[in-house]
């Protein structure tokens, strides 16, 4: 048995390619003709490296994994094409031709092939859960049942765009203190290992007149220089240990809990989790997704284990036939005012609209919290860095002034 690569055309003239296992070339050709296909080419499959496949694979690796921005562009383009009356198969083919990212283009072509095979679009999307996510897939599935596909795609695109904006704001708030903190550590290490040792000769034999700050820094400098290898390895080991701990359930729960307790940051994280949870739930309810599925997806997307646990208790309560707000009244993760508004929306049958309004309010609160955090951290980091560098500078300068006074 051997493998044979072929290119054929079906009755409609559409070209297809593939690999067929058969006893001989003639037998492979006979099988294809028996299927009513017109053979364009057929040859033994190359057992070596296929150059086209190799170049395609290298292009995918260089491009990296598809990102949320690719999904947003894809969703926006697809919504426009659907409103223009283009059928789904042609729309996917057109998007694939315009996509420059090799990996995402491959995924779009796989979606097109599944649609051509008769599968629902939501079923095709479910083969790529990491890229599109449960919310995306369930909203598309709901739109297929209601017949509002293009409108739903617009809603999904708006949601993805707002999530990307939120992520950019949070990352932007974290970048500045991270850069300042790194610079403070680098400058301190540089002063201890390169600048302070230059003064050893000046201070040698005069230890009795040196202030405690200078003695402390000289001892710290010698320790850092002598143990730099151990300190480097220890720092990397501690970082790796903390990273590994954060990936465990216990470590992740501890970190998520601390996010809601740190004085400067807790307001920002609280607004983030509430806004994300309520926006997700509102979008899914308005899309017509079943309530239990909505609650489960909301918990997964919330981004914090404590909030995920809260929505898990809500899921159990609703599954037992109770109201949505029954377990929410017992938690401190949502303000009572929010719980009351959710209860009002649930009683009036306008829960989706209420959740959209509340999530928009908390999205504004999140912007304000990020500005507040950035405004507070900036001067704090500058003061800390200035204090460290100033302490080292004064510890070097003061004994020099003291020795000059003694000489005079």
Res 407 pLDDT > 70: no
What mean pLDDT is reported for the chain?
83
Residue at 220 is within a domain: yes
| CA nearest neighbour of 260 among 292, 224, 227, 302 | 302
Residue at 171 is within a domain: no
Res 401 pLDDT > 60: yes
Task: Give DSSP secondary structure letters for 113-126.
Answer: HHHHTT--HHHHHT
Looking up residue 78, the CATH number of its domain turns out to be 1.20.81.30
- pLDDT score, position 394: 83
Residue at 170 is within a domain: no
* 72 and 156 both lie in a single domain: yes
- pLDDT score, position 312: 92
Would you tell me how many other CB atoms lie within 10 Å of the CB of residue 391?
Answer: 14
For tokens 């990212």, the residue is: 101
Q: In which domain, by residue range, is 39 found?
A: 2-48
* 92 and 39 both lie in a single domain: no
Per the structure, how many domains does the chain have? 3
* 189 and 332 both lie in a single domain: yes
Res 119 pLDDT > 90: no
Residue at 359 is within a domain: yes
Q: What are 95's two structure tokens? A: 């998007």
* 275 and 347 both lie in a single domain: yes
Q: What is the rounded CA–CA span in Å between residue 20 and residue 44?
A: 9
Which tens digits make up the pLDDT trace of 329-375? 888 888 898 899 989 988 888 888 899 899 889 888 888 888 888 77
* 240 and 277 both lie in a single domain: yes
Which H helix or E strand runs over 39?
Answer: strand 38-44
Which tens digits make up the pLDDT trace of 157-182? 988 888 888 888 888 777 877 887 78
- The domain boundary, picked from 161, 194, 214, lies at 161
Q: Read off φ and ψ for residue 18, nearest 5 degrees.
A: 180, -170
* 156 and 294 both lie in a single domain: no
Would you tell me how many other CB atoms lie within 10 Å of the CB of residue 314?
Answer: 25
* 251 and 327 both lie in a single domain: yes
Would you tell me how many other CB atoms lie within 10 Å of the CB of residue 249?
Answer: 8
Q: Read off φ and ψ for residue 296, nearest 5 degrees.
A: -65, -45
| CA nearest neighbour of 168 among 67, 258, 75 | 67
CA angle 11, 14, 16 (to 5 degrees): 110
* CB-CB contact of 3 with 21 (8 Å): yes
Which tens digits make up the pLDDT trace of 206-215? 767 778 888 8
* 148 and 285 both lie in a single domain: no
Q: What is the rounded CA–CA span in Å between residue 114 and residue 103?
A: 17
Residue 363 burial (CB < 10 Å; 0-12/13-18/19+)?
Answer: buried
- pLDDT score, position 182: 83
* 157 and 299 both lie in a single domain: no
| CA nearest neighbour of 281 among 368, 351, 328, 381 | 351
* 30 and 106 both lie in a single domain: no
- Residue 57's pLDDT band (boundaries 50, 70, 90)? low
Q: How many CA atoms lie within 13 A of 241 on its CB side?
A: 6
- pLDDT score, position 254: 92
Residue at 238 is within a domain: yes
Q: What are 8's two structure tokens? A: 């054929």
Res 322 pLDDT > 90: no
Residues 6 or more apart from 259 whose CB is under 8 A from it?
Answer: 265, 266, 269, 304
- The domain boundary, picked from 102, 137, 161, lies at 161
- The domain boundary, picked from 113, 131, 161, lies at 161
Residue at 169 is within a domain: no
- pLDDT score, position 53: 53
Residue at 168 is within a domain: no
Largest CA distance in the chain: 110
Q: What is the rounded CA–CA span in Å between residue 313 and residue 293?
A: 14
* 335 and 274 both lie in a single domain: yes
- pLDDT score, position 238: 92
- pLDDT score, position 307: 92
Residue at 338 is within a domain: yes
H-state helical runs in 191-227: 200-203, 212-226
pTM exceeding the 0.75 threshold for the entire prediction: no
Looking up residue 14, the CATH number of its domain turns out to be 3.10.20
Res 49 pLDDT > 50: no
* 225 and 348 both lie in a single domain: yes
In terms of C-beta distances under 8 Å and separation of at least 24 residues, what long-range contacts does 96-105 make, across chains too?
99/70, 99/74, 101/63, 101/66, 101/70, 102/56, 102/59, 102/60, 102/62, 102/63, 103/60, 103/63, 103/64, 103/65, 103/66, 104/66, 104/70, 104/74
Task: Give DSSP secondary structure letters for 321-336.
Answer: T--TTTTGGG-SSS-H
């Amino acid at each position: 048995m051997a493998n044979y690569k072929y290119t054929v055309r079906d009755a409609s003239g559409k070209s297809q390619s593939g690999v067929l296992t058969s006893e001989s070339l003639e037998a492979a050709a006979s099988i294809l003709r028996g299927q009513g296909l017109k053979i364009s080419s057929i040859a033994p499959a190359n057992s070596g490296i296929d150059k086209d496949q190799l170049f395609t694979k290298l292009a995918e690796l260089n491009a990296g994994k598809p990102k949320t921005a690719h999904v947003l562009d894809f969703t926006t383009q697809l919504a426009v094409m659907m409103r223009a009356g283009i059928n789904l198969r042609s729309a996917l083919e057109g998007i694939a031709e315009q996509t420059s990212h090799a990996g995402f283009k491959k995924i779009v072509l796989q979606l097109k092939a599944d649609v051509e095979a008769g599968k629902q679009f939501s079923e095709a999307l479910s083969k790529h859960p990491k890229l599109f996510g449960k919310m995306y897939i369930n909203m598309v599935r709901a739109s297929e049942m209601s017949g509002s596909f293009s409108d739903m795609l617009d809603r999904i695109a708006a949601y993805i765009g707002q999530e990307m904006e939120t992520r950019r704001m949070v990352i932007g708030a974290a970048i500045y203190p991270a850069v300042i903190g790194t610079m403070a550590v680098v400058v301190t290490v540089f002063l201890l290992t390169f600048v302070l040792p230059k003064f050893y000769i000046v201070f040698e034999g005069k230890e009795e007149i040196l202030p405690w700050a200078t003695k402390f820094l000289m001892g710290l400098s010698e320790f850092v220089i002598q143990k730099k290898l151990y300190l480097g390895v220890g720092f990397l080991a501690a970082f790796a240990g903390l990273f590994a701990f954060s990936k465990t359930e216990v470590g992740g729960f501890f970190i998520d809990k601390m996010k809601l307790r740190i004085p400067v940051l807790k307001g920002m994280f609280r607004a983030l989790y509430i806004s994300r949870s309520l926006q997700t739930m509102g979008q899914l309810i308005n899309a017509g997704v079943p309530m239990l599925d909505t609650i489960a997806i909301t918990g997964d997307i919330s981004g914090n284990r404590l909030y995920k646990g809260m929505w898990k208790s809500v899921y159990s309560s609703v599954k037992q036939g109770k109201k949505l707000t029954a377990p929410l009244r017992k938690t401190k993760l949502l303000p009572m005012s929010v719980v009351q508004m959710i209860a009002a929306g649930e009683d009036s049958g306008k829960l989706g609209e209420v959740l959209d309004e509340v999530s928009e309010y908390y999205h504004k609160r999140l912007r304000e919290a990020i500005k507040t955090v950035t405004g507070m951290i900036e001067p704090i980091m500058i003061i800390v860095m200035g204090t460290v560098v100033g302490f080292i500078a004064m510890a070097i300068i003061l004994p020099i002034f003291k020795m000059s006074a003694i000489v005079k």
